Amino acid sequence: MTKPSASERQADVIVVGAGPAGSTAATYLAQAGADVLLLEKTAFPREKVCGDGLTPRAVRQLVRLGIDLDEPGWVRNQGLRIVAGGFRLEMPWPDLATYPAYGLVRTRLDFDDILARHAQKSGAHLHERTAVTGPLMDEKSGRIVGVTATTVDDAGRKDGDEITFRAPLVLAADGNSTRLSLAMGLRRREDRPMGVAVRTYYTSPRHGDDWLESWLELWEGQPGKSSLLPGYGWIFGVGDGTVNVGLGVLNTSTAFQSVDYKDLLKRWLDQTPEEWGLRDRNRTQPVRGAALPMGFNRKPHYANGMLLVGDAGGMVNPFNGEGIAYAMESGEMAAGVVTQALSRTSPAGQERALQGYVSALDERYGGYYTLGRLFVKAIGKPQVMKLATRHGLHHEALMRFTLKLLANLTDARDGDVMDRIINGLSKVAPAA
C-alpha cells in the first residue's frame, strides 16, 4: 500500500462541520470503532447565532452522549413562559417517559466546544481551522470519495497548502450554507419554510430566570397599527449576569423581506420594563442574525456517498425553530447507518444500509414536518396569528397540547390523549 503524503489523509468517514450535528455523529462513529475525521473551518471556542435554549428533547441527546450536566455552566429551566395580549402563562415541561422534565441554557460559545471536545475524546480526529473547498469525486462512479481543504487563519483567510482528505463516506454537517451540498448539486427547496433569527446579549437581573420566556406578539409597525408577524421573541437567562434576547420570523409573512430585524428587536424590547435592563447601554454583544432552514428544505438526505445532517439537511423544526435537538438526533441516526454500512461486505449491501438513513428520517420527522409546514402557512396570515395570541392563552388545556405539539414532546407508548392525537396526526400526514 502506498503511504499517504503529508498533504493527504485517509479515514473511514469524513464529517464536515463540528457543530452539534457533526460532533454528535463523530462521537458515535468513533465510539463504534470507525476512523473519523472531523473538519471544522473555525477554532473553538467560537461564536454561533442561537437562542442558547435547549428543550428536553435536546437534553435527552446530551444525556445519551454522556455529557456531564452537573458541571458549572448549565442553567436548568422548568418550562416555557408565554407572553401575549397582556397575558402570561407558565407551562412546565411535560412529565414523560421518553424525555426529561427540564430544559437547559448554555451559550453556543461553550456548547459547541464541549461537544467537539467530547468527540475528540471519543477518538475522532478533529481538525480546526480547516476549511473544505470542495468534494473529491470518483469520475467513474459519480460518488464522493473525499474532500479538498485548506487551513485558514482566525479571519478565515487561507494560510496553508491544499490538503486532500479521502474516505468512502462523507457527512455534510456544514450548516445552512452547506457549501459542500451546493458543490454536489443539492439546492435549497423553495417550497419549504425558512426563518430568520437575530439575537444579542444584555446584562440583566433576569439572568437567573428558570423559565424560557417567549413573547408571541411581534408587530411589523407600531402595536395595533400594523400586521402581527409570524414568529416570537425570546428572553433566556444565561446565569452569568446576562440574558440571551432575540426574535425569529418566518418567511410565510408578506413582510419577511422588508422587515428591519434589528429595529424590530429594539422596538419590542422598548416595551419591556426599564428595570430588566434590555436597552442599548446594557448590550454586551452586537446583534447578529442567521437563517433557519426548516422542514427538510434540502434533499435527498443521502446520495452518492454523502449524508446530510442537521441544518445542512434543513432539519429545523418548523413549529418552533428548534434546531439543536434535531441536529444531534440526525447525527446519531447518520452514525448508526454509516456504522452498519461499513460492516457490509458488498457495495450493494452498503448502499441498502445507507438508504436506510432516508427512510429513518422520513419515519421520524416526515409527517410531523408536513404538519409543521401547514402550521407556518396558517400563522403567516396576520388574522390567524392575532386569533391565536389573543384567545389561545386563556385555554390552559389547549396550551398544554400546543406545547407538546410545538416542542415535539410526546411518548410513543403509554402516552396520554394529547400524545396519541399528536402521534396519530404525524403518522397519517404524508412525508414529502
Residue carrying C-alpha cell 455534510: 172
Q: What are the sequence ranges of the domains in the chain?
A: 8-69+104-189+294-371
Which residue, 153, 149, 152, is CA-closest to 134? 149
DSSP letter (8 states) at residue 219: B
Give residues with Cβ within 8 angstroms of 238, minimum separation 6: 52, 75, 105, 107, 201, 207, 244
* pLDDT of 403: 94
Q: 6 — phi, psi (to 5°)? A: -65, -25
How far is Cα 408 from Cα 403, in angstroms, rounded to an integer?
A: 8
What string of pLDDT tens digits covers the 432 residues of the chain? 333 445 689 999 999 999 999 999 999 999 999 999 999 999 999 999 999 999 999 999 999 999 999 999 999 999 999 998 788 999 999 999 999 999 999 999 999 999 999 999 999 999 999 999 999 999 999 999 999 999 999 888 898 889 999 999 999 999 999 999 999 999 999 999 999 999 999 999 999 999 999 999 888 765 555 678 889 999 999 999 999 999 999 988 777 778 899 999 999 999 999 999 999 999 999 999 999 999 999 999 999 999 999 999 999 999 999 999 999 999 999 999 999 999 999 999 999 999 999 999 999 999 999 999 999 998 888 788 777 777 677 788 889 999 999 999 999 988 899 999 999 999 999 998
Beta bridge pairs of residue 294: 316
Predicted confidence (pLDDT) per residue in 395-415, tens digit: 888 899 999 999 999 999 888
74 contacts 106 by C-beta, under 8 angstroms: yes
Q: 167 — phi, psi (to 5°)? A: -165, 150
What's the grid cell of residue 253?
409573512
What pTM did the predictor assign?
0.95
DSSP of 302-362, one letter per residue? EETTEEE-GGGGT-B-TTT---HHHHHHHHHHHHHHHHHHHH-SSHHHHHHHHHHHHHHHI
Which residue, 358, 39, 293, is CA-closest to 170? 39
The CATH topology of domain 8-69+104-189+294-371 is FAD/NAD(P)-binding domain (3.50.50)
Instruction: Based on DSSP, count helices (H) and strands (E) in the chain, helices before strands.
Output: 11, 20
Which residue, 347, 357, 337, 351, is CA-closest to 34? 337
Burial class (CB in 10 A: 0-12, 13-18, 19+), 386: middle
**What's CA 395's distance to the chain center, in Å?**
30
What's the grid cell of residue 353?
444500509
392 contacts 398 by C-beta, under 8 angstroms: yes
Which residue, 82, 50, 310, is CA-closest to 176? 310
* pLDDT of 5: 47
Residue carrying C-alpha cell 423544526: 317
What's the grid cell of residue 221?
409597525
3-class secondary-structure state, position 377: helix
How far is Cα 391 from Cα 228, in angstroms, rounded to an integer?
A: 14
Q: What angle do CA 98, 75, 203 make, to 5 degrees?
A: 145
* pLDDT of 155: 83
* pLDDT of 226: 66
What's the grid cell of residue 390?
389573543
